[in-house]
Structure 1
Amino acid sequence: MPKNLKKRSQEEIKKLKPFLDEWVERIEKPDYIDSDPVLFMHAFNKKEDRLLAGFFAATMAWGRRDVVIRKVRDFLNRMDNRPTDFITNFSDRDAKRFDGFKHRTFKPVDMKWLTKILQTILLDYGSFEDFWEACYQKAGQQERPLMAIFHEDFFALQPDTPRRTFKHVSNAEKKSSCKRLYLYLRWAIRQNSAVDLGLMNFMSPSELMIPLDVHVARQARKLGLLGRTYNDWWAVQELTESLNLLDPKDPAKYDYALFGLGVAENGLPEKFVINSI
């Protein structure tokens, strides 16, 4: 990748709005759901089940989407597809349900401790959203990134959690893009979407950061929306700032456009490319 990428001016970025809005409309449709891990939030009727199933789906959203869907389905089957009841009543002897489970670097021990932490959240806070809201308020008071507070307070609930499990929940203060956590919040926060469910309202969609993966970042750099060459927390901030110029009330919707451009057969039209990568 070139070290010096071109970055569009604010006025030039705004000129991309019709093109990117068209791609949002093309991709953000109900038929998107069945091929994406967000389907597990749509698979349940109760809000808490949706939030918990969605958290596992987003946390495991690593690699090919069809593989992720298969692994998440396997995991939820081990919970009898009753995530709230299973997590609330979980005991160490239930951990045998996770024996043999594997996805990427996720192992049974990780699923056990993630479940134990979520159980503590439900028992201590009453709901997953209430925990998120507490983290959000604390982040504002301390002027720190939300995902740094979430990571810190999440694992503080179960101090015996093995260190290996910490890597499965990102931390913005460790330079992570926090892609999977912001993917989860996109699902749970955005309103009036054919895909995202708008289940939580502790923060505004205007505050969402872009879920940055390698494919989204590649399209953003080609378009000149992102000049940073590393896919880290600073790149997330830079790209989200660019997308705020297009829609300050809902910048995360452009995740659909950048994703769609990445998988399109014809790719990004040459007239929009200012960085060849």
Structure 2
Amino acid sequence: MTTDDLKDFLDEKAELYNSKSFIENDPIQIPHRFSLKQDIEISGFLAATISWGNRKAIIKDAEKMLHFMEGEPFAFVKNFEENDLKTLDNKSIHRTFSGEDFAEFLRNLQRLYTSHESLEDLFLLQDGEQNFYHSLVRFRQAFLGENIHRSHKHVSSTYKNSSAKRLMMFLRWMVRRDNKGVDFGIWQRINPANLSIPLDVHTGNISRKLNIIQRKQNDWKTVEEMDLVLRKLNPQDPAVYDFALFGLGVSGDFK
């Protein structure tokens, strides 16, 4: 397959899957229930954090968190007191993400929103940076703070060569801007050209079949290998191809 053929193929599949029908069966439906920027950020970040495994289970378990926050994520984060978190003790949220982890995430979010209007502040790239390798670690450090808590394992570190799939997915939701109605594009200070694909089993397997990547691991080095190809195909919006690669992987339409 030539470069032009690959671009035509991926553009066609991205167009197919990047539509409002995508929302119904994807965790992105959780932040789509809100209109306030901070509600979208908080619910999106929490939904992305537990986005591994079966998508129906992810959505169901994200709804547990919304219910606990009384359907108003930002208002709850701003105003909760420590006693409000006691019922989360020994509670299960999603697989290894426990009620204790959820409580710590809420504490961290409350601390961050006391000094930041938006979580976007914590993901901004610095001069010369072309991807989120350093940015995600800066966010991780700011979010986790100095307290060593078991929940740190749910925020990936690119310095440990993680693909940071869930954080990259959250960034795609917040940053990408088009007229399709799936991604929000509410973060205006981050250029979509710097986004990378959220690399998981589906996007990795399809990318190998298409010879986009050669590495067998789904790690940060592979993310950068993928960038070399996808940013040539669409320099302004390389992450649009997440729809094509993920959609093909989930649907089983590409053998």
1:144 Cα offset (Å):
5.7
Q: Paired residue for 2:212, among 203, 216, 225? A: 225
CA contact (8 A) 1:78 1:98 kept: no
- 1:257 equivalent to 2:240? Answer no
What is the alpha-carbon distance in structure 2 between the residues aligned to residue 245 and residue 255 of structure 1?
Answer: 15
Partner of 1:213 in structure 2?
Answer: 200
> In the superposition, relative to structure 1, how do residues 93 and 226 fare at CA in structure 2: closer, same or farther (>3 Å)?
same
CA contact (8 A) 1:58 1:180 kept: yes
CA contact (8 A) 2:17 2:243 kept: yes
Deviations 1:123-168 (A, max 9, x none): 01232223333xx33895xx96211211122212xx2241x21110
What is the alpha-carbon distance in structure 2 between the residues aligned to residue 198 and residue 57 of structure 1?
Answer: 17
List alignment gaps of at least 5 residues for structure 1.
Answer: 1-7, 269-277
Of 116-125 and 93-102, deviating more is 93-102
Aligned residues: percent identity?
38
> In the superposition, relative to structure 1, how do residues 247 and 155 fare at CA in structure 2: closer, same or farther (>3 Å)?
same
What is the alpha-carbon distance in structure 2 between the residues aligned to residue 154 and residue 212 of structure 1?
Answer: 22
CA contact (8 A) 1:188 1:198 kept: yes
Partner of 2:151 in structure 1?
Answer: 165
The correspondence of residues 147-226 of structure 1 with structure 2, limited to 5 A, is 147-156=136-145, 159-162=146-149, 164-192=150-178, 193-226=180-213
Structure 1 segments, 4+ long, off by >4 Å, are none
1:266 Cα offset (Å):
3.8
Q: Which amino acid aligns with 1:188?
A: M
Question: Alignment partner of 2:239: what SS?
Answer: helix
What is the alpha-carbon distance in structure 1 between the residues aligned to residue 172 and residue 133 of structure 2?
Answer: 20
Q: Which amino acid aligns with 1:234?
A: K
> In the superposition, relative to structure 1, how do residues 176 and 265 fare at CA in structure 2: closer, same or farther (>3 Å)?
closer
Q: Which amino acid aligns with 1:42?
A: H
> In the superposition, relative to structure 1, how do residues 117 and 248 fare at CA in structure 2: closer, same or farther (>3 Å)?
same
- 1:81 equivalent to 2:68? Answer no
Question: Alignment partner of 1:102: what SS?
Answer: strand
Question: Alignment partner of 2:233: what SS?
Answer: coil
Partner of 1:54 in structure 2?
Answer: 44
- 1:122 equivalent to 2:113? Answer yes
CA contact (8 A) 1:190 1:197 kept: yes
Q: Which amino acid aligns with 2:254?
A: G
> In the superposition, relative to structure 1, how do residues 137 and 94 fare at CA in structure 2: closer, same or farther (>3 Å)?
farther
What is the alpha-carbon distance in structure 2 between the residues aligned to residue 146 and residue 253 of structure 1?
Answer: 21
Deviations 1:29-58 (A, max 9, x none): 101101111011110121110111000011
What is the alpha-carbon distance in structure 2 between the residues aligned to residue 91 and residue 165 of structure 1?
Answer: 20
Q: Paired residue for 1:21, among 8, 11, 33? A: 11
More RCO (CA 8 Å, sep 6+): 1
What is the alpha-carbon distance in structure 1 between the residues aligned to residue 195 and residue 110 of structure 2?
Answer: 26
CA contact (8 A) 2:123 2:138 kept: no
TM-score normalised to structure 1 length: 0.86
Partner of 2:80 in structure 1?
Answer: 90
1:98 Cα offset (Å):
2.5
Question: Alignment partner of 2:60: what SS?
Answer: helix
Q: Paired residue for 2:32, among 27, 35, 42? A: 42
TM-score normalised to structure 2 length: 0.93
Kindly name which structure, 1 or 2, has the bigger radius of gyration based on alpha carbons: 1
> In the superposition, relative to structure 1, how do residues 97 and 31 fare at CA in structure 2: closer, same or farther (>3 Å)?
farther
Aligned length, in residue pairs: 251
